[in-house]
Amino acid sequence: MINESRTLLLNITAYAGSTLPDGEEYIDPAFNPAVLSGDLKELHQIMVPANSARDYLNFLGFCYMRMLHVPDVAPYTLKSDPRFTYDLDSNYFIDGMARGDLAYSFNATTLYAKLLSKILAGNSMSTLFNEIHPDIQVFRKLWNNGDSDVDRLTGAVLALIYQIGAL
């Protein structure tokens, strides 16, 4: 599926209009969002808050995909389907933030701290890093040993994508 990692992470339906507005990215119209429950749902809601405006979800998708396309992890991001149509240098988001048109923010350290708090409070670690695929070991190592909060968050995001994809 084109844009598979992004689609699974956001876990939302395709845009219903005939022309994609600025900031919106292609989602296969046949994609049905996974029904998440328990720890997986709670972890997902930390990374992709439920009931957020669609433009904000697209902003999050943009930020996460920029993280997931760095050379060390891009092969995992594109493993099941290397096709993607989203723009990693989207003028819509970059220029909008620079002008102050977009009132969104993305703080990897804050997200990492929220995930860490959730994981330390229960069994979420075993849910997120359930070894449904050999790559999960790589993501767990990144989570545990990453050089920065961005690296650790990247490990969690990739693990979440793989977990949702396995449903």
Arithmetic mean of pLDDT, 133-159: 94
Sign of the CA dihedral with 102 first, then 107, 111, and 113 last? negative
Report the SS3 class of residue 135. helix
Q: Which tokens hold the place of 96?
A: 């909008």
Can you tell me the distance from the alpha carbon of 160 to that of 119, in angstroms, rounded to the nearest whole number? 13
pLDDT digits (tens, 9 = 90+) for 68-93: 999 899 999 999 888 888 878 777 77
Report which of residues 31 and 1 the model is more confident about. Answer: 31
pLDDT at res. 49: 93
pLDDT at res. 143: 95
pLDDT at res. 20: 83
Domain boundaries defined on the chain? 4-165
- Is the whole-model pTM more than 0.85? yes
CB 153 within 8 A of CB 71: no
Whether pLDDT at 95 is above 90: no
pLDDT at res. 40: 94
Can you tell me the distance from the alpha carbon of 47 to that of 111, in angstroms, rounded to the nearest whole number? 7
From residue 9, give the alpha-carbon distance in Å to each of 43, 65, 156: 11, 10, 11
* Residues in CB range of 51: below 8 A, 6 or more apart: none
Arithmetic mean of pLDDT, 111-121: 89
Can you tell me the distance from the alpha carbon of 162 to that of 167, in angstroms, rounded to the nearest whole number? 9
